[in-house]
Amino acid sequence: MAMLPSLHDDFLVAYEVNCKTRQIKLYAKPDTRAPRHEEWTDCTIVFNGVEGYQFENDAFGNIIYSLDAVPIEQLLAEFGAQIAESYHMAGAPGPWAADLASASQLLTSKGVQGFVLRSSYGLSGWVLAKEALVEQT
């Protein structure tokens, strides 16, 4: 599983989805009003090899509760109904979603990991990607 920094109470100031390169970037900024803010820096979480994602409830002032790497089985158990509906309605997030019973094995064989973004306020969702890199800025 990927090691991700604690983004608890950081602001999600932007996100970028590149469909062609299958890359997603989350831009996080610490709350400078919080104690010990001098130790924290802005960072970008870069997901490469994205096989699917869903974000919802963007409040244009999003506060992150957590970003965690999770087993694919856990992600599919939690979000499987939404994924199945999205696949039925629009073919998203991809052909692997046609059969959720075999999706975990297929995604794992491709080296894909699950990531869940939870918020205290605003945007939340999930990403299935081959890697998550942290860029400090």
**Cβ 34 vs Cβ 7: under 8 Å:** no
Residue corresponding to tokens 């924290």? 40
Q: pLDDT digit string (tens) for 2-29?
A: 578 889 889 999 999 999 999 999 999 9
Q: Quote the pTM value.
A: 0.92
Give yes or no for a cis peptide into 30 (omega within 30° of 0): no
Q: pLDDT digit string (tens) for 89-136?
A: 999 999 999 999 999 999 999 999 999 999 999 999 999 999 999 998
Gap between the terminal Cα atoms of the chain: 23
Q: Which of 42, 56, 22, 38 is nearest to 131 (CA)?
A: 22
